[in-house]
A and B are shown apart, each in its own frame.
Chain A
Amino acid sequence: MEFFIQQLTNGLAVGGIYALIALGYTMVYGVMKLINFAHGELFALGAYVGYSLLVTFDLAGALGPAAAIGLTIVMVLGLVGLAGHLLERAAYRPLRHSDRLAAVVSALGASIFLQNAIMLKWGARHRAYGADLLPNVTVHFAGQSYPLIRLLVFLAAVLVMTALYAFIHRTRLGLAIRAAAIDQGAAKLMGIDVRSVIAVVFVIGPALGGLAGLLVGLYYGQIDFSMGQLYGLKAFTAAIIGGIGNIPGAMVGGLLLGLVEALGAAYVSVAWKDALAFVVLIMILVVRPTGLLPERVAEKL
């Protein structure tokens, strides 16, 4: 039982991270119908920006752990958000009215570019956040102890997702995003500036992805330049499982995937862990071709 609960909480933390990344995929897809293949690299960028701030500049030493983490979060959100914005301007905006596959290849090119840029800047070897970065605190609850960081990662993910949900559903800008996701043309006719909606989405999505990168660095302590690929694929899978374009769907998909992986690795096979996500994906899509909480689509005759 204890083992099960440890795996469960671990799965929730990892699932929270997947969900954060998946939000970026799903928001961008919702508005632009584009798979942002470079999103995984923006996630990795977040991890490396965090590394530079916390390890290279040793912010924790200068400010103390809490203030250092706070400042790092703000910096990661800002810098990766900016990178996302630049990416949209350079690689996607010129292709908004082109064939969708052209945009897919442009996204793949941007992904290759960013991954290699990260490698050239920070090197091809693993980087360690360092074990002493954060005080090694454990929390006791219901007769068991958990690492504090696991709790924090999960709480951070839930907090951010709740905030995003409120933003999308309670603000005018959020309304504009939802409208543009349903029908860009109609949104334009209603006076919504679709271009700036896309710009906003391309700041928020990458910023959240970057935050997820920072959380991975803090949670696992180790990062590498190609980490964006696998996390990106898994998170994209999560977004599809939930029903791409659907924000609660990304959260559900992410958490589900985290749980399946953690429990699968524990009870089925560690070696097959990375395949599980895709097996679940295929099983769900065979039964529900547009995911668990799909966008409403009807083929018009």
Chain B
Amino acid sequence: MQILSLNNVTKTFGGLVAVGGVTCGVERGHVVGLIGPNGAGKTTVFNLVTGSLKPDDGHIFFAGHAIARLKPHRIVSLGIARTFQTIRLFPKLSALENVLSGCHCRMVSGLAASLLRLPSQRREERLVLGRAMAELEFVGLAAQWRTPAGSLPYGDQRRLEIARALATEPKLLILDEPAGGMNEQETLELRELVGAIRRRDVTIMLIEHDMGFVMHVCDQVLVMENGLLIAQGEPQQIQKNPKVVEAYLGLDDEP
């Protein structure tokens, strides 16, 4: 069953076609890699799926909902969470508070309950603190719960961003270059983490330039070039696809 499907999705920026009629789907439970040379339109696809950008044309369906016109926060509550290409944590707030931002959309306490600290609010707060700590523990950061996100080492910040996204209880997690800037050891750990996330029945879609990483963790790979989807399939097929080799693997040696 497809959890996400894009139907002829198009986005242009002042005449420049960033995404030109992309049609594709993501199977529930899969880890799907989105690859392609720089400027191919990968991040634009992510921004369209998460609602940061609105498509000029086409439809996006997620778990039975048409989401192309929804605001990002609505899409999050429907079950799509993301990380950003350049880390976008709240640097001055603690690791715990960062994760609590993800919990926000699964909480119900409103203005009055918050202002008057009603019993229901306190109960919810206690529960949520536990949930947030569990997410921190899941990525191995429970001990640093008080550390401001901005003073965590780079690799930890990446993982905190994932914890924050997981706290929204997503069905689909979108990771924009999760291994970017990581060293070999950290990349290895990230691989483990992706495996652990998928065991939680979360579908994953990721952009990554580290081909070893993509080939290792992904069930499906989508390849984009110049705003078009030029190939899709299992990693082994993609590696052999001459179009892909020409467009990407052969020419662009990403580190």
Contact = CB atoms under 8 A, between A and B. Distances in A.
Interface in A280-301: 301
Interface in B74-91: 84-85
B52 interface: yes
Contacts of B47: 301
Contacts, number: 5
B230 to A, nearest CB: 24
B38 to A, nearest CB: 15
For the complex of A and B, the 5 pairs showing the least CB-CB separation, nearest first, are A301-B52, A301-B47, A301-B84, A301-B43, A301-B85
Contacts of A301: 43, 47, 52, 84-85
Interface in A104-139: none
Nearest to A300: B86
A301 B50 CA distance: 12
Interface in B48-66: 52
Contacts of B52: 301
Interface in B18-63: 43, 47, 52
Interface string B168-203: 000000000000000000000000000000000000
A301 B42 CA distance: 13
Interface of B: 43, 47, 52, 84-85
Nearest to B88: A301
A301 B47 CA distance: 8
A301 B48 CA distance: 12
B176 to A, nearest CB: 9
Nearest to A298: B13
Nearest to B46: A301
A25 to B, nearest CB: 30
Nearest to A299: B52
5 contacts: A301-B43, A301-B47, A301-B52, A301-B84, A301-B85
A174 B151 CA distance: 40
A102 to B, nearest CB: 16
A301 B84 CA distance: 8
A151 B52 CA distance: 52
A85 to B, nearest CB: 35
Nearest to B82: A301
A294 to B, nearest CB: 15
A36 B106 CA distance: 43
A301 B52 CA distance: 8
A242 B47 CA distance: 31
Nearest to B85: A301
B190 to A, nearest CB: 22
B223 to A, nearest CB: 22
Contacts of B85: 301
Nearest to B53: A301
A280 to B, nearest CB: 29
Nearest to B43: A301
A301 B87 CA distance: 10
B101 to A, nearest CB: 17
B184 to A, nearest CB: 28
A301 B88 CA distance: 9
Contacts of B84: 301
B242 to A, nearest CB: 33
Nearest to B52: A301
Nearest to B13: A298
Contacts of B43: 301
A301 B44 CA distance: 10
B133 to A, nearest CB: 29
Nearest to B84: A301
Interface string A187-219: 000000000000000000000000000000000
A100 to B, nearest CB: 15
A297 to B, nearest CB: 15
B86 to A, nearest CB: 8
A301 B45 CA distance: 12
Nearest to B47: A301
B89 to A, nearest CB: 15
A301 B85 CA distance: 8
Nearest to B44: A301
Interface in A156-202: none
A241 B167 CA distance: 42
Nearest to B50: A301
A151 to B, nearest CB: 43
